[in-house]
């Protein structure tokens, strides 16, 4: 048995879209249709075997725990600078947040990929539906606040 390298979770930044589910508004990855469950951590699973793009390439990957250093699987979190670049490329509505992540963690080009993650703070950009989004995301039990700007001032401060 070996002791963990860290006693607490890491904190990074990420973007989510919001989706209406039968249970209410939920956070969802920009790239996968997995809704983040409220009140419990999201656990990463490798979706590479299910990816149509990878199936077309006929890539066969061994089954493994996510994240794995030889794969792109895991729950992503980014440094503030990388998130700013991603925000600039976004065409769709999104929410920004800080996320705690732990378990197996792999550092990668875009930040980190983790085994477990949960929102730590959610920022909702101003918009026509901001009030409903704020109320709906309260189910996560973390601070949810409206940001007058598309990029929350706290994110900008983290870059400086």
Question: Do 120 and 97 touch, CB atoms closer than 8 A?
Answer: yes
Residue 20: pLDDT over 60:
yes
- At 128, the pLDDT band (50, 70, 90 cuts) reads confident
Distant-in-sequence contacts of 86-90, Cβ < 8 A, 24+ apart: 86/15, 87/15, 87/150, 87/151, 90/15, 90/30
Element (H, E) at 82: helix 80-89
Q: What is the pTM of this model?
A: 0.83
Contact between 35 and 122 (Cβ < 8 Å): no
Task: Please check the confidence at residue 32 and state whether its pLDDT lies above 90.
Answer: no
* pLDDT above 80 for 130: yes
Q: Where are the domains of the chain?
A: 10-159
Neighbours of 36 (CB within 10 A): 19
| Residues listed for the chain | 160
**Is the model more confident about 15 or about 54?**
15
Alpha carbon 123 to its chain centroid, in Å, reads: 13
Read off the pLDDT of each residue in 72-100 and give the average, rounded to a whole number.
88
Bigger pLDDT: 97 vs 9: 97
Calculate the dihedral angle through the C-alpha atoms of 140, 141, 142, 145, rounding to the nearest 10 degrees: 80
Nearest residue to 95 (alpha-carbon basis) of 46, 134, 51: 134
At residue 53, what are phi and psi to the nearest 5 degrees? -60, -45
* Radius of gyration, alpha carbons of the chain: 16
Pick from 153, 10, 11: which is nearest to 84 by CA? 153
Residues 41-58: pLDDT tens digits?
999 888 765 545 544 443
């Amino acid at each position: 048995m070996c002791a963990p390298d860290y006693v607490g979770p890491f904190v990074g930044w990420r973007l989510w879209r919001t989706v209406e589910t039968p249970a209410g508004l939920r956070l969802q990855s920009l790239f996968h249709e997995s809704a983040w469950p409220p009140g419990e951590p999201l656990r990463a699973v490798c979706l590479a075997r299910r990816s149509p793009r990878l199936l077309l390439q006929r890539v066969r990957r061994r089954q493994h725990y996510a994240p794995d250093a030889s794969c792109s699987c895991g729950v992503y979190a980014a440094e503030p600078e990388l998130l700013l670049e991603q925000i600039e490329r976004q065409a769709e509505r999104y929410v920004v947040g800080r996320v705690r992540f732990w378990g197996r963690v792999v550092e990668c080009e875009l930040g980190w990929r983790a085994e477990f993650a949960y929102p730590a703070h959610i920022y909702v950009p101003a918009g026509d539906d901001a009030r409903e989004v704020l109320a709906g995301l309260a189910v996560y039990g973390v601070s949810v606040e409206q940001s007058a700007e598309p990029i929350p001032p706290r994110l900008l401060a983290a870059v400086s």
